Chains A and B, each alone.
Chain A
């Protein structure tokens, strides 16, 4: 199944160029293409051979890590992606740490007293935040934090990797990580809260209570695991969504991850780079979903037995 999906994705990203009207060479090179460049491209992509042969040439190159060389920047697509991908990974990891670290304890608090004051406030607040798109959060954050308070955020020229200077690195990723974390928090909090409330009404919880086990231990040891299936499911979808949809935040704050690279590639009509990123991100999303399905089966073995 997994291999089937990845195969279809590879065909999809490969075929993208043929779905578009006009000569693919012109699409790739732009209208100002010289005949020599066209000839080179035709040879490189094998555009005059049958379509399935073209696909096999392309996919065997991709599997060997060769996604072609951009005609715009003259650099290899694979190396551009390799430079950008770690930034996405770091951003996603940071945002998920923040989201889980806030969502889990707060959901437990709310579930302990459903419809209590804290639960009501968090319920209304999270529902409101659900309707605020990430690009508005980031714009308002820049407006109030950076512009009004005068705290600068760094651009791509000043972006440094984690290993070079981790303080500066974390400073520049703080704003986007918090923005992405808000979106994740809202989903995790709501999902975990309602599942915890349902679990706390089960008989084994009453049993644990009657044995005199502390509230805290019941939450973490007894209620959390059976309530975390939907949480893990939404985390899988959400992390995949951040990989595919993180471009808005990256673009606005000029953080040179995959999303930022994708948008600038689109603006420069750098077709091969777009194709490469579409392929990598799509496969990444599928893999993330697959891994989370696997984790869910470990956490709740009943699911695979059904």
Chain B
């Protein structure tokens, strides 16, 4: 009897997940710190990011100005912290739109199948073929005046087909599993199956894709800022800070280095968390 039990437990023992590791929690802490900084930037004891101190122009890092000042005497540390607001808002906002539209549609299409799925998937694949970055630039360049809300809206809508494809593929892999069929046989409603059975099981894939999606969108916002298509100066954003500093970087390299470092470390944190979660939950073949 005990031998039999041993055998059963051997067969049924779930595979151990890879541990998340210390570095994972450091990254989580770093991202949280950035988000807190962005939300409470006007409460924190920071200098005014728009104040031009003509007595301290192009000052290096020091006690009074932690990261130094720019060519107009503005405090770089304050501008980096305030600049994170734009990046985080664009990243979170547009992914909220992308997932808000793309995820329910993808789940529904994979669960229902049939004509609804066929038509929707065909539309999404055609949209996916259209280079999103070009569409974004084209729309933003002619849709004056520019605002943060418009940027979030345009990037968010452009990401819908991609989110749809990832979520649909993930749901399809699960929708044919035995426990879903069992739930159907028991007479569970479609809504209950979608929310209680499918949603928790695709959540790990969705979350890791969400994090990598946010990183991609933040990079895109930085590129848009370079072309002058993001928020208008003097509002700081990491992208437009790096862009503005190009002309003076021979005299004041700190002006380039600090916002670049802030942006890269933030992206690195997001990518690392996403990557770790993916291997932790053993998400193998969903193309990201």
The smallest beta-carbon distance between A201 and chain B, in angstroms, is 15
A145 interface residue (CB < 8 Å to B): no
- Bound CA span A48–B125, Å: 33
The smallest beta-carbon distance between B186 and chain A, in angstroms, is 34
The smallest beta-carbon distance between B71 and chain A, in angstroms, is 15
B263 interface residue (CB < 8 Å to A): yes
Contact A143 B264 (CB under 8 A): no
A266 interface residue (CB < 8 Å to B): yes
Q: Contacting chain A: which of B73-81, B128-136, B171-179? A: B128-136
Contact B227 A247 (CB under 8 A): yes
A257 interface residue (CB < 8 Å to B): no
B51 interface residue (CB < 8 Å to A): no
The smallest beta-carbon distance between B249 and chain A, in angstroms, is 5
On chain B, the residues within 8 Å of A19 by CB distance are 139
Interface residues of B in 213-253 (CB under 8 A from A): 215, 219, 222-223, 226-229, 239, 242, 246, 249-250, 253
Contact A285 B131 (CB under 8 A): yes
Contact B219 A133 (CB under 8 A): yes
The smallest beta-carbon distance between A43 and chain B, in angstroms, is 22
On chain A, the residues within 8 Å of B215 by CB distance are 131
Q: In the complex where A20-B142, A248-B223, A281-B131 touch, is A266 in contact with B137 (Cβ < 8 A)?
A: yes
Contact A131 B223 (CB under 8 A): no
- B contact face: mostly helix, strand, loop, or mixed: helix
On chain A, the residues within 8 Å of B223 by CB distance are 133-135, 245, 248
- Bound CA span A248–B71, Å: 24
The smallest beta-carbon distance between A252 and chain B, in angstroms, is 7
The smallest beta-carbon distance between A122 and chain B, in angstroms, is 16
Contact B246 A136 (CB under 8 A): no
Contact B131 A240 (CB under 8 A): yes
On chain B, the residues within 8 Å of A40 by CB distance are none
Contact A282 B131 (CB under 8 A): yes
On chain A, the residues within 8 Å of B141 by CB distance are 266, 274
B84 interface residue (CB < 8 Å to A): no
Q: Could you say which of A140, A274, A278 contacts B256, with CB atoms under 8 Å apart?
A: A140
A263 interface residue (CB < 8 Å to B): yes
Contact A16 B138 (CB under 8 A): yes
Contact A245 B133 (CB under 8 A): yes
**Nearest 3 pairs of A and B residues by beta carbon:** A244-B131, A131-B268, A131-B267
Task: Kindly list 6 other residue pairs between chains A and B, CB separation below 8 angstroms, not including A13-B138, A135-B242, A248-B227.
Answer: A8-B130, A240-B131, A251-B226, A252-B226, A274-B138, A274-B142
Interface, chain B (partner A; CB < 8 A): 126, 129-131, 133-135, 137-139, 141-143, 215, 219, 222-223, 226-229, 239, 242, 246, 249-250, 253, 256, 260, 263-264, 267-268, 270-272, 275
Could you pull out 18 A-B pairs where Cβ atoms are within 8 angstroms?
A16-B142, A27-B142, A127-B275, A128-B268, A131-B267, A133-B223, A136-B242, A139-B242, A139-B246, A139-B260, A142-B246, A243-B131, A244-B134, A247-B137, A266-B137, A266-B227, A274-B142, A278-B138
Interface, chain A (partner B; CB < 8 A): 4-5, 8-9, 12-13, 16-17, 19-20, 27, 127-128, 130-136, 139-140, 142-143, 147, 240-241, 243-245, 247-248, 251-252, 262-263, 266-267, 269, 271, 274, 278, 281-282, 285-286, 289
